[in-house]
């Protein structure tokens, strides 16, 4: 019974304690913009007495309208314990510490600090709205904020909404300790790209988080900014190229200056330059310098000049010993860079690529000429080649020139050809009983002289000759050795002497002599027979044809002296039935000798039977007959039977001799006079014909 009674007592005591006055809500620190309304809350529970507010410890009064404080009042339902303090509009003097007090209950709230915020004014930038600067020269931009802004504003710099670093802030204090102004200095080095740029100085604080801005524009003076271009940039040697120099400057450009490889280009003015490209433009770029009042700037560019291979380092010939390594180098310059290959002279097999060719352990077969060739590939800019010779030092190579033969006890000559690099120290001929290097010894003599052509890569050639005077039987049965030596070794060859027999040669000569004698005898006999036959037929078969009607005589000197018609008549032996002369009319024809014989040309046509072509065949004239008689032609040996002959005067001034063996001869007369014509002589003097069995004709015109 005692324990339950105690529990009831404790519950009653606890309930009585919970009904004492207490704060349901206390004021807190507050920041209010100047001119806005401030509200400090205060709420009490189980309290119905007087509630008042204090400002920095000064009581504002217990009434809810707070007389004497026109901008202050207390709001809320007092029955519910609500006692909120209002201030409107807030002024700078309202910034203080406030408390809510329940005087009858002896309760005080915690102090609440009221902060009055004053927004900053727009800052000022020295030199705004446009600041003139020089590119490349360090500059300072100053931004200043004045007034009673609370709290002190922060000054920031922006460009294109991007905050700039490097600004330094300064504060200026009054004697009272208050802040008079705030400055921010931005230090930077402007460039030509900053010309026309806009910078913003922003004053920002808790009173105005967005801040207030002041913008300025930069006006830059800068030296020229140069851009140099070439058209075309890639060019073949010899083509024209145009350079264009473009510049941006403030103030404007005052001049241009062109240079190539650092040397001024004479006569080059203005923003354009035309040149003819060559290989020097690869290593000597073209530059353009532009100037204005602030300064100058330049820009350079190099051309991509394409050209064919140019030999810069020629390969040097080498002489190496057999078994050693040989190495050649050659350097080619070109754009594009040429491909270098190595081949043997006259060969197509590629031995190596690149500027160096190495031949390990060379032998005599490696000696010769090598070609270093540069090729440009598909660019079509040509190529080049350089040759170099490799000489391989080896023991001499000795060969016999040709086989030698000689007569017994006659002279003989043996020859050997020697190639050696280095040159042989000696060339020695040796045989059974001795040797000989140079000079003579008994029947032997040695001569050595350079060969007309050497073997490429194996040094110059020598020809050594061994002369033997009066060969003996032993010379044909033994061998002769030709040997040569140098510092690398010795080489030799054996040469034998062949024997030539005398008897076969004598037989051949005798046979040739006998054959020649027989031919001479036969020719002499034939000649005698012809002469006899001609003499026998001289008086039987002749025809004498006198000269032309102009009265000029072409007889021989003896005939001119006699002038006998009997002599002429005795020469004429012919049958009119066998020979018929056509004398229908004598035609005046042109002198075929052009006046040399002063006679008129006579054309004679002779037909013998039905000879093909009605031509005239004239065999050689016979030399037989008395002096002074004209020569005649004997046809007896050519005709087997008599045939009728016809002599007619042709229509032209020359002998018509269609036969392939016909001919005409002219004899210059020794005297001139009227022709002597024998009885029954035809009007063609000085033409004699044989009997019709063989027609022969001799003409004198």
Complete domains list, the chain, with CATH: 22-117 (2.60.40.10), 124-220 (2.60.40.10), 230-290+298-306 (2.60.40.10), 308-392 (2.60.40.10), 394-499 (2.60.40.10)
pLDDT for 558: 36
Distance CA 363, CA 387 (A): 19
CA distances from 72 to 49, 61, 77, 81, 94 (A): 21, 11, 17, 19, 10
Condensed to tens digits (0 to 9), the pLDDT of residues 522-546 reads 888 888 888 777 665 554 444 443 4
Mean predicted lDDT score pLDDT of the chain: 76
Cβ within 8 Å of residue 295, ≥6 positions away: 223, 224
Q: Rg of the Cα trace of the chain?
A: 72
Condensed to tens digits (0 to 9), the pLDDT of residues 80-89 reads 999 999 999 9
* Residue carrying structure tokens 């075309």: 232
pLDDT for 533: 73
Consecutive H or E run containing 405 = strand 404-407
pLDDT for 564: 35
pLDDT for 503: 59
Secondary structure of residue 146 in the 3-state scheme: strand
Which of the 8 DSSP states describes residue 444? E
Note the helical H segments in 600-649: none
234 beta partners: 304
CA dihedral 688, 691, 695, 699 (to 10 degrees): 0
Consecutive H or E run containing 335 = strand 331-335
Distance CA 688, CA 698 (A): 7
Q: What angle do CA 389, 393, 398 make, to 5 degrees?
A: 105
Condensed to tens digits (0 to 9), the pLDDT of residues 290-343 reads 999 989 999 999 888 888 888 999 999 999 999 999 999 999 988 888 899 999
pLDDT for 506: 60
What percentage of residues in the chain have a pLDDT greater than 90? 44
Distance CA 267, CA 269 (A): 6
299 beta partners: 288
Q: What angle do CA 422, 424, 430 make, to 5 degrees?
A: 160
Cβ atoms within 10 Å of 455's Cβ, excluding its own: 17
For the sheet containing 579-582, what is the strand order? 579-582, 645-649, 604-608
Question: Which of 700, 606, 609, 620 has the alpha carbon at shortest distance from 659?
Answer: 606
Low-confidence ranges of the chain (pLDDT < 70): 1-18, 173-179, 377-381, 453-459, 502-510, 534-701
Distance CA 461, CA 463 (A): 7
* pTM, to two decimals: 0.43
CA atoms within 13 A on the CB side of 183: 12
Which of the 8 DSSP states describes residue 70? T
């Amino acid at each position: 019974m005692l324990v339950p009674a105690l529990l009831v007592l404790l519950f009653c005591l606890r309930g009585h304690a919970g009904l004492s006055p207490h704060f349901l809500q206390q004021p807190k620190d507050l920041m209010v913009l100047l001119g806005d309304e401030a509200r400090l809350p205060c709420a009490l529970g189980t309290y119905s007495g007087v509630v008042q507010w204090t400002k920095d410890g000064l009581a504002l009064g217990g009434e809810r309208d707070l007389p004497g404080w026109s901008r202050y009042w207390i709001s809320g339902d007092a029955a519910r314990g609500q006692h909120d303090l209002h201030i409107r509009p807030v002024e700078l003097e309202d910034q203080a510490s406030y408390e809510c007090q329940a005087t009858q209950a002896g309760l005080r709230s915690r102090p609440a600090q009221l902060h009055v915020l004053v927004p900053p004014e727009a800052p000022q930038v020295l030199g705004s709205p446009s600041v003139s600067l020089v590119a490349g020269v360090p500059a300072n931009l100053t931004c200043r904020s004045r007034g009673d802004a609370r709290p002190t504003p922060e000054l920031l710099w922006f460009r294109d909404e991007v905050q700039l670093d490097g600004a330094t802030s300064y504060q200026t204090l009054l004697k009272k300790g208050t802040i008079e102004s705030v400055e921010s200095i931005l230090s930077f080095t402007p460039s030509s790209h900053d010309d026309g740029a806009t910078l913003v100085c922003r004053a920002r604080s808790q009173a105005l988080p967005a801040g207030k801005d002041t913008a300025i524009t930069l006006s830059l003076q800068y030296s020229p900014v140069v851009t140099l271009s070439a058209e075309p940039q890639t060019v073949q040697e010899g083509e024209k190229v145009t350079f264009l120099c473009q510049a941006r400057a403030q103030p404007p450009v005052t001049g241009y200056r062109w240079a190539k490889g650092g040397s001024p280009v004479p006569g080059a003015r203005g923003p354009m330059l035309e040149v003819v490209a060559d290989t020097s433009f690869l290593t000597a770029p073209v530059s353009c310098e532009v100037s204005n009042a602030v300064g100058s700037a330049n820009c350079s560019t190099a051309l991509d000049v394409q050209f064919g291979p140019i030999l810069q380092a020629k390969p040097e010939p080498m002489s190496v010993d057999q078994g050693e390594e040989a190495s050649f180098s050659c350097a080619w310059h070109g754009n594009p860079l040429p491909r270098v290959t190595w081949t043997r002279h006259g060969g197509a097999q590629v031995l190596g690529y690149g500027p160096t060719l190495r031949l390990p352990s060379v032998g005599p077969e490696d000696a010769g000429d090598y070609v270093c060739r540069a090729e440009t590939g598909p660019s079509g800019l040509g190529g080049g080649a350089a040759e170099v010779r490799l000489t391989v030092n080896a023991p001499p190579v000795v060969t016999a020139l040709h086989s030698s033969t000689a007569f017994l006890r006659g002279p003989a000559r043996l020859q050997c050809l020697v190639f050696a690099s280095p040159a042989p120290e000696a060339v020695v001929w040796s045989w059974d009983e001795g040797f000989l290097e140079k000079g003579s010894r008994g029947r032997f003599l040695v001569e050595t002289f350079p060969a007309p052509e050497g073997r490429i890569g194996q040094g110059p050639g020598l020809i050594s000759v061994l002369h033997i005077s009066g060969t003996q039987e032993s010379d044909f049965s033994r061998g002769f050795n030709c040997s040569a030596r140098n510092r690398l070794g010795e080489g030799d060859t054996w040469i034998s002497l062949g024997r030539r027999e005398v008897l076969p040669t004598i037989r051949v000569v005798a046979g040739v002599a006998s054959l020649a004698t027989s031919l001479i005898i036969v020719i002499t006999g034939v000649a005698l027979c012809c002469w006899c036959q001609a003499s026998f037929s001289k008086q039987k078969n002749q025809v004498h044809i006198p000269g032309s009607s102009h009265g000029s005589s072409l007889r021989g000197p003896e005939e001119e002296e006699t002038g006998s018609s009997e002599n002429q008549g005795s020469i004429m032996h012919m049958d009119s039935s066998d020979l018929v002369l056509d004398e229908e009319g004598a035609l005046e024809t042109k002198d075929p000798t052009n006046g040399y014989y002063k006679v008129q040309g006579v054309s004679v046509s002779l037909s013998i039977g039905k000879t093909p072509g009605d031509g005239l065949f004239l065999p050689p004239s016979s030399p037989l007959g008395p002096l002074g008689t004209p020569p005649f032609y004997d046809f007896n040996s050519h005709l087997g039977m008599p045939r009728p002959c016809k002599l007619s005067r042709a229509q032209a001034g020359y002998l018509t001799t269609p036969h392939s063996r016909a001919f005409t001869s002219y004899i210059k007369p020794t005297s001139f006079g009227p022709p002597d014509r024998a009885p029954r002589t035809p009007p063609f003097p000085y033409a004699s014909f044989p009997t019709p069995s063989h027609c022969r004709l001799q003409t004198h015109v």
